[in-house]
Amino acid sequence: MGRLPLIGRLSFHEYIALLVGFSLLALETILRSTILFLPKSIVHWFYQRSEILFDRFTSVAKKRGQTTEEAVSNAVRTAKDFGELCSYYGYAYEEHVVMTKDGYLLTLHRVPEPKGQTTPTSAHKPVVYLHHGLLMNSEVWVCLTNEERCLPFVLVEQGFDVWLGNNRGNKYSKKAVHRSPTSTEFWDYSLDDFAWHDIPDSIAYILTRTHVCSLSYVGFSQGTAQAFAALSLHPQLNQKVNVLIALAPAMSPAGLAARVVDALMKASPTSMYLFFGRKAILSSTPTWQAIFYPPIFTYIIDGALRFLFAWRGDNIAGSQKIAAYAHLYSYTSVKAVVHWFQIMREAAFQMYDDDVSAGGALQGRAYRPTRFPTRNIVTPVLLVYGAADSLVDVDAMLRELPEHTRVCRLVGYEHLDILWGQNVHKDVIPEVVNALRVHCETPDSMRVGVKVFERDNAEGR
C-alpha cells in the first residue's frame, strides 16, 4: 500500500506539530489582515497599550527622561534606512544599483570616506565588500549603538573603500526587469541564484567602479555561504577576491535546537511551502514590529532565537537588541529557506534539489543533488566563529574547504554576537583588520592608526 508523500514520513508528534503550526499561521493571518484595515490611530493605541502593559508587569521602572544610551538606542532603532543610520554617525554614503544577468536590480551601499570628509582622499584605496546573512539587509552592519563596534565605520576610518551588498528580494533589492515582486516567479530563487548572479555581478560592478583588480570579502552567516558557493562555481572570481573573511560561517548546519521543528523540516523541507506559500517568508514581521512596544518585540525575538537555535544572547546589551532587532528582518524567498533545510537534511553543502519527489535521503546512492565544489576555492579563507554557536560545525566545514583555510575561535560567542556583541571591537574587528592588512590589494594605503587600534584592543582584553 502506498504512503502519503508527506504524512507517511512523519511521526505522530510531528503530525500534531504540523497541525498546530497551520492553526497558528491561520490565526496570525487573520489578525494581520484585520490590522491592515485598522486606522493608524487604532494601531498607535495598541502600541501605547503594549507599553503600559510592559511597564506594569515587569520590574523595569519608567524613568523621567532618557539616558544617553537609551537616546542612542532609540535613534538607531527609529532610523528608517541605511542612509539615516550613516547620517546619525556623521558618515556620507552612496547608493548604487547593479542589474544581475538574470534581470534583478540590486542596491549596493558605499561608505567611501572617513567621517566629515566629502572629497575623495586618494584613488585605488583597498576595497572591502560586506554581505549580510539570511533574512537581513545591509543595515545590520551599521545599526550598532556606538561607532567603535561598527565594522564598516572602523574600516572606512582605517582607509578602506567600504561597500555593502543586498540580496535580491530584500528591502533594497525588491525589483526586477522582467518580474514583479507580486508574482511567484520573482521569488523563485535560492542560494544557487545568489551564487550564480548576485555575488559575482555585485563584485564585478564594484571593481569596475573603483578601478581596482581585487577586493576583500567579509560575509556574515549566509553571506559566507554565498561566497563559498560563488567562489566554488566561478574559478575566475578567485582572482577578484583577495581574501574571504567568514564571520559566523554557514555551510551545512547540523539543524535546529527545537527538535520537533528540526525533525519536521528534515523529514520534508518542502513542507515550508505548505506553511508559507511560494513567495516571501515571514512578510508579516514589519506589521507586528509596528504594533509592539520595542522591549516586548525584543523579548519575542529573543524567545524565538532561544527556541529555534538555543541562543541566549547574553553578550548583546539590551539597548543594542532594541536598536538592532528593528533592523534584523528583511524579505527573502521561502525557496531560499527550503534550500537550507535541504542542506541540513543531507548534511551537505549542495545546490537546490528541484526533484522534490525523489528525495535524496530516500533514494540512497541512486540520487544526490550536486554539491558546491568548495575544495576548489583558491582565495585565502579565514573563519571567525563563536564556540557557542549552534549553527557552526567547524570540523565538518574544514573537511569541505581548502587546506589553506584559517580559523579563529571566539570563546563564549554565539551567532549574532559576532555582529552586535559588546566586545566585538576587542575580539572580532581586530581579527578582520589583521586579515585585511595581510591580504588586501594595497595594504600600504591603510592608515597608520591600524596598529594603534589593534594594540589598544589587545591591552583591553
Q: Which residues are catalytic?
A: 221, 389, 415
Count of CB atoms situated within 10 Å of the CB of 262: 17
Query: Pick from 414, 379, 419, 382: which is nearest to 398 by CA?
Result: 382
Phi first, then psi: what are they for 206, rounded to 5°? -65, -45
- List, edge to edge, every strand of the sheet that includes 94-99: 94-99, 105-111, 161-164, 127-131, 215-220, 241-247, 381-386, 406-410
Determine which helix (DSSP H) or strand (DSSP E) holds 110, and give its type and residue range. strand 105-111
SS3 189: coil
- Under a CB-based contact definition with an 8 Å cutoff, are residues 410 and 416 in contact? no
Distance from C-alpha of 273 to C-alpha of 315, rounded to nearest angstrom: 35
- Under a CB-based contact definition with an 8 Å cutoff, are residues 74 and 326 in contact? no
Query: Pick from 330, 392, 351, 331: which is nearest to 190 by CA?
Result: 351
- Under a CB-based contact definition with an 8 Å cutoff, are residues 352 and 269 in contact? no
Distance from C-alpha of 194 to C-alpha of 189, rounded to nearest angstrom: 8
Q: Is 218 exposed, middle or buried (0-12, 13-18, 19+ CB in 10 A)?
A: buried
Query: Pick from 146, 59, 108: which is nearest to 324 by CA?
Result: 146
Query: Pick from 58, 209, 182, 194: which is nearest to 120 by CA?
Result: 209
- CA distances to 24, 178, 299, 387 from 243, rounded to whole Å, are 45, 34, 37, 23
Distance from C-alpha of 277 to C-alpha of 7, rounded to nearest angstrom: 18
